[in-house]
Amino acid sequence: MINFRAKLILSLFILIAAVLAALGIWLGQMFKSYYLATINDRLERETSMLAGTIEDWGGVESYNSDMLEKWSGQMDTRLSIADNNGNLLYDSGGEDERETNIHRDIVYRISNTLNEENYRDSLLRKMDVQYHWEPIVNAREEREGYIVVSMRVDALDEIYGQIWAILLASLGFSLVLIVLIGTKITTRYVKPIESAAAVAIELAKGNYRARTYETPPDEMGMLSTSINILARNLQEMMQAQEVHQNRLTTLIENIESGLLLIDDRGYVVMANRSFKKMYSTGRIIKKRYYEVITQEDVIKIVEDVFMTEKNVRRQIKITFDLEEKDVEVSGAPIIGTNDEWKGILVVFHDITEIKHLEQMRKDFVANVSHELKTPITSIKGFSETLLDGALSDPDAAKMFLDIIWKESGRMERLVADLLDLSKIEQKGLALNVTTVSLAKLLEEVIVTLESRMEAKQIDLQVNIPDGLVIEGDEYRLKQVFVNLITNAILYTPKDGQIFIQANESDQMVNVKVSDTGIGIEKAELPRIFERFYRVDKARSRDSGGTGLGLAIVKHIMEAHHGKINVESKLNEGTTFTVSFIKELRHDFTKD
């Protein structure tokens, strides 16, 4: 493919060659016309003069051949005299037989032509020999013959040759000049244009880092500068667009709600990571929405948005991987600037946890009301009984007062646990971290619970390695073990056993509190750390428990960056395992 530079030089060369060729043809014709006109004018005067001289000599029969030969040489012409029939009477040429025959034929035609002017014009158009003739008349004005004067015009060919030689020399010089000027033009103008074109092509391909060389401040320089400014602006715009696109993609991919974008033909064009987790159906993009979504309720929402072109929001239950979840599905139409239908955006918001928390709140209010109602009813009832006259009976009065005292203590513990739990959840725990001997801590806890274990004749076995220490808040750690051991005592039948053992690893200290009690059903294990949740409600309530112990334990362990796990088999027993970080203060420093 010929580049622009070669095309420019070739075009200039063809243009100049055409101009020179046209000039050569025009000059040739001009010189030819001028030269022939001059020759013909000369021949006409000479022929007329010779015809008059011959007539003065006495006519065709009285010509002087020597004089005609002399004049032929002086005028560089060929002189011929013919009679009326075209027969040559005298001819100054005749050396070449072929030319003589042609000349004799022309003279004959001149003498016998019916239209002398037409034939004269035809002879004048010949380029090699020019002819002119005049009739010779006598005194009686009768034509006796003709005098024919002819002259070769070979000089015209030489003139043509000189003209074309000059034009060819001019063309060669022009070619050299064109190459020099073309090189300068291409260097000055074409190269910047080619560079700008190359950069424009790269910009069209998306390579916004492409730049062209900037030339001095003229038209080409302005073009190069403008191209570079355009490239920089496009690069900045693309970088900004990439940043916005990355932010948007990151936002869409990491949003917890499932997002599904459906075009106006019903094909899925975008789905984020959360949606793909919900619907693990392989390829999603470029499939019909009803091929991706299997729930009829969700399909109905999409169809309603398509038909009404309005937002549709519904809460439905959807089963994902055999787990039923509460999902709020919102469908919104996407309308372009010119009311052009673009598609639908469907948002799947998992509200299972919200529903669960709402149910926990309802259960909490109900449980608190129930827990407070019982002691308040007891206190009110026995107070009324005392006021009605039971004070006069010392034994009855003492029994009723003991019950009132017991119920008020239960209310006090309940309120204290509620305040403590509320403080932990709202403000967190301010831990006073110290190094605590685990054996000593458990010994102090066990002392406070010995009477309850002796009442149920429970065998306690403790296996704590000597010198095992943990870091934490001693008061809060006592709360953890008091609650765990109290639960073990509460749910262990008479003559049962409780085991406390500890071990350590590289980073953790693990303490297990096991019992041989009634155990916990597998379905109830996820709920045991909820507030007021009881495995055996009658037994725990009779023991004076508030139902908040394990919830408090969980928060205390989280504050210590520890873990609590539970394993249980129904009617066989339960094991709680609490794990503490050895270097708790170092872990706080990192936070």
> What does the H/E/C string look like for 276-317?
HHHCCCCCCCCCEHHHHCCCHHHHHHHHHHHHHCCCEEEEEE
Calculate mean pLDDT across residues 152-166.
71
Q: Write out the DSSP string of 467-532.
A: T-EEEEEHHHHHHHHHHHHHHHHHTSPTT-EEEEEEEE-SSEEEEEEEE-SS---GGGGGGTTSTT
What is the tens place of the pLDDT at every residue in 538-557?
444 444 455 677 887 888 88
C-alpha to C-alpha distance for 254 and 275, rounded to whole angstroms: 11
Across the chain, what does the average pLDDT equal? 78
Q: Where are the domains of the chain?
A: 4-152, 178-254, 256-349, 356-422, 429-590
Kindly give the pairing relationship between strand 258-263 and strand 143-152.
unpaired
Q: Is the pLDDT of residue 316 over 60?
A: yes
Sheet arrangement for strand 497-504: 459-463, 497-504, 508-515, 573-581, 563-569
Calculate mean pLDDT across residues 436-453.
88
Q: Domain 429-590 maps to which CATH number in 2.70.98.30, 3.90.76.10, 3.30.565.10, 3.40.470.10?
A: 3.30.565.10
Fold of 256-349: Beta-Lactamase (3.30.450)
8 A C-beta contact, residue 380 and residue 512:
no
Torsion of CA 294, 298, 302, 308, to 10 degrees: 150
Q: According to the 3-state scheme, what is the secondary structure of 9-35?
A: HHHHHHHHHHHHHHHHHHHHHHHHHHH
b/e 279-316 (16+ beta carbons within 10 angstroms → b): beeeebeeeebeebbebeebeebbbebbeeeeebeeeb
Lowest mean pLDDT among 112-116, 514-518, 586-590: 586-590
Give the pLDDT confidence score for residue 515 in this predicted structure. 92
Q: According to the 3-state scheme, what is the secondary structure of 551-572?
A: HHHHHHHHHCCCEEEEEEECCC
Q: Residue written as tokens 């394990």? A: 550
Give the pLDDT confidence score for residue 424 in this predicted structure. 65
Lowest mean pLDDT among 74-78, 423-427, 517-521: 423-427
C-alpha to C-alpha distance for 417 and 552, rounded to whole angstroms: 8
C-alpha to C-alpha distance for 549 and 544, rounded to whole angstroms: 12
* Higher per-residue confidence, 516 vs 183: 516
Q: Is the pLDDT of residue 125 over 50?
A: no
Residue 95: Cβ within 10 Å count: 6
- pTM of full prediction above 0.85: no
Give the pLDDT confidence score for residue 117 in this predicted structure. 52
Rounded to whole angstroms, what are the CA distances from 276 to 158, 270, 283? 95, 10, 9
Give the pLDDT confidence score for residue 541 in this predicted structure. 47
Task: Give the residue from 571, 564, 495, 568 showing the smallest Cα distance to 529.
Answer: 564
Q: Is the pLDDT of residue 120 over 60?
A: no
Give the pLDDT confidence score for residue 543 in this predicted structure. 47
Q: What percent of the chain has pLDDT above 90?
A: 5
C-alpha to C-alpha distance for 67 and 78, rounded to whole angstroms: 13
Q: Which residues contact 163 (CB under 8 A, 6 or more apart)?
A: 24, 27, 28, 31
Give the pLDDT confidence score for residue 560 in this predicted structure. 83
Q: Is the pLDDT of residue 453 over 60?
A: yes
DSSP 190: I
C-alpha to C-alpha distance for 396 and 394, rounded to whole angstroms: 6
C-alpha to C-alpha distance for 69 and 91, rounded to whole angstroms: 9
Task: Give the residue from 197, 327, 306, 219 showing the smallest Cα distance to 262.
Answer: 306
Q: Residue written as tokens 């065998």? A: 459
Q: Is the pLDDT of residue 13 over 50?
A: yes
Calculate mean pLDDT across residues 247-271.
85
Kindly give the pairing relationship between strand 508-515 and strand 573-581.
antiparallel
Same CATH fold assignment for domains 4-152 and 356-422: no
Q: Domain 4-152 maps to which CATH number in 3.80.10.10, 1.10.760.10, 3.30.450.20, 3.40.50.300?
A: 3.30.450.20
Tallying the residues shown for the chain, one arrives at: 591
Residue 247: Cβ within 10 Å count: 10
Give the pLDDT confidence score for residue 427 in this predicted structure. 57
Fold of 356-422: Helix Hairpins (1.10.287)
Give the pLDDT confidence score for residue 115 in this predicted structure. 46
pLDDT band at residue 87 using 50, 70 and 90 as cut-offs: confident
Give the pLDDT confidence score for residue 216 in this predicted structure. 64
Task: Output the six-digit token pair for 183.
Answer: 């090189």
What is the tens place of the pLDDT at every residue in 481-514?
888 898 889 889 988 999 999 988 878 899 999 9
8 A C-beta contact, residue 436 and residue 444:
no
Task: Give the residue from 119, 134, 146, 131 showing the smallest Cα distance to 78.
Answer: 131
Q: What percent of the chain has pLDDT above 70?
A: 82
Task: Give the residue from 251, 556, 554 showing the smallest Cα distance to 433.
Answer: 556
Calculate mean pLDDT across residues 137-141.
74
